[in-house]
């Protein structure tokens, strides 16, 4: 996007308010994110979100994919693909996107190798609309265009994209179903962990249904409302049924499995951004998950 301010109606307003008026496909939060990524230039300089627009300001929004990201020939299980999006079945052990200075061996690197076009709204994470943890397997929807990205992100925000998981958790849950409600925030004692924080946390709701009761474990089907960081892992740990194998959360839940949580995103439902039809995809249960269930059966 590139333009010069010629309308006096925009003068004196914050840049993060003006850009959505100039491009209706942008939201204010998206503009703020792009500003943090230093992808917005006013008169050839990066500005802050509270910059007040002036007449004749030349605005450039540069959303080119980060040149530091390199394509890698990593196998991908593509469940579905069209001109707007892909649905990927991510294997356990694969990080979704680069972070902390690491630009290699992620799903993003694999996507850059296999897919010609990816959305560039977040140049550090091309195509990535949402994520799942490294040791969680399962379905992700990936955007090829910025329009698809915005539409899918809006569904996440409005909770109209539905994601369902299977989890093997410690102990026997007596209730056949239930809802866990607890705001989630950063753990003050460990920045790598999240915790239920009623005072400062963000709203989070997780519903579950028991699929099978095993020997000292329960197989559950889980649905997320918000999708906070580590939401399933934090919530089940909070009710003293941590996910089996989780190396970050829980106590005595790694006695038989100690190489990551037994958690699989097996189903995703969303509205296609172009044809507006509801689409549902399922991923088969992976072998690592079957093996863990067998250990407790």
How far apart CA 268 and CA 162 sit, in angstroms, is: 6
30's enclosing H/E stretch is helix 28-36
The number of helix segments (H) and strand segments (E) in the chain equals 6, 15
Q: Which value, to the nearest 10 degrees, does the dihedral of the CA atoms of residues 247, 236, 229, 70 take?
A: 40
CB 83 within 8 A of CB 54: no
- Helix axis angle for 15-22 and 28-36, nearest 10°, is 120
Contacts of 100 (CB under 8 A, 6+ apart): none
Active-site residue (options: 57, 84, 122, 133)? 133
Contacts of 139 (CB under 8 A, 6+ apart): 79, 87, 88, 89, 90, 163, 265, 266, 267, 268, 281, 282, 283
Whether 135 is catalytic: no
CB neighbours of residue 22 within 10 Å: 15
DSSP characters for 83-115? SSEEEEEEPTT-BSS-BTTB-SSBHHHHHHHH-
- Strand boundaries in 225-286, DSSP class E: 263-271, 278-282
Residue carrying the six token digits 């239920």: 196
CB 88 within 8 A of CB 76: yes
Q: Catalytic positions, please?
A: 133
């Amino acid at each position: 996007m590139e333009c010069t301010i010629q309308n006096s109606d925009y003068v004196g307003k914050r840049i993060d308010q003006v850009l959505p008026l100039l491009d209706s496909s942008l939201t204010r939060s998206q503009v703020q994110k792009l500003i943090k990524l230093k992808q917005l230039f006013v008169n050839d300089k990066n500005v802050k979100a509270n910059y007040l627009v002036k007449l004749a300001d030349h605005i450039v929004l540069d959303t080119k994919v980060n040149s530091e990201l390199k394509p890698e020939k990593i196998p991908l299980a593509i469940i579905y693909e069209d001109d707007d999006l892909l649905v990927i079945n991510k294997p356990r052990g694969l990080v979704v996107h680069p972070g902390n200075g690491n630009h290699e061996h992620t799903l993003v690197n694999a996507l850059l190798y296999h897919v010609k076009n990816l959305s560039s709204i977040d140049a550090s994470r091309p195509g990535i609309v949402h994520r799942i943890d490294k040791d969680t397997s399962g379905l992700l929807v990936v955007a090829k265009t910025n329009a698809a990205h915005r539409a899918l992100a809006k569904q996440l925000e409005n909770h109209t994209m539905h994601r369902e998981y299977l989890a093997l958790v410690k102990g026997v849950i007596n209730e056949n179903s239930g809802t866990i409600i607890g705001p989630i925030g950063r753990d003050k004692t460990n920045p790598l962990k999240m915790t239920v924080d009623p005072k400062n946390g963000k709203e989070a709701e997780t519903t579950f249904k028991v699929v099978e009761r095993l020997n000292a474990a329960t197989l559950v089907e889980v649905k997320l409302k918000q999708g906070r960081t580590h939401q399933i892992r934090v919530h089940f740990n909070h009710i003293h049924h941590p996910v089996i194998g989780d190396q970050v959360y829980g106590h005595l839940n790694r006695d038989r499995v100690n190489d990551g949580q037994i958690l699989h995103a097996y189903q995703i439902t969303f509205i296609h951004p172009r044809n507006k039809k509801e689409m549902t995809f399922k991923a088969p249960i992976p072998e690592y998950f079957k093996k863990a269930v067998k250990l407790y059966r």
